Amino acid sequence: QVQLVESGGGLVQAGGSLRLSCAASGRTFSSYGMAWFRQAPEKEREFVVGISRSGSRTRYADSVKGRFTISRDNTKNTVYLQMNSLKPGDTAAYYCAASALNTGLTTLRYDYWGQGTQVTVSS
């Protein structure tokens, strides 16, 4: 069992930055591929970025490439999402997810989810 707790969301002006954190419980954090998804009101949950178990491989959605950076610290059981040059279109609830398989674009691949943290970008 893995529990995920996100933090770091908030209200920021366009062009600003936020850093999200996702703290995982359990001793097997390094066994999971991790990802961030987001969901805006009345829209489906969408993949943002994923990172492999070791952190050596990452995959970004085209919409955030060059602006967002994912990283993980397996000694702290934590995955991070640094978000720069934020746009109003980035406004959404952001969810951390863990997969016992390699990360992928679909929510079905993920075994555990956090409760989400809200990011609001004002214009």
Strands 78-83 and 92-99: unpaired
Q: What pLDDT score was predicted for residue 98?
A: 96
- Token readout for 72 is 């993980």
CB 48 within 8 A of CB 64: yes
pLDDT at 21 exceeding the cut of 90:
yes
Dist. CA 74–CA 100, nearest whole Å: 15
Residue 103 has pLDDT above 90, yes or no: no
What is the number of residues in the chain? 123
Q: What is d(CA 12, CA 75) in angstroms, rounded to the nearest whole number? A: 30
Mean of pLDDT values over 42-65:
96
In this predicted structure, the answer to whether residue 66 has a pLDDT above a threshold of 90 is yes
Residue keyed to tokens 């908030």? 10
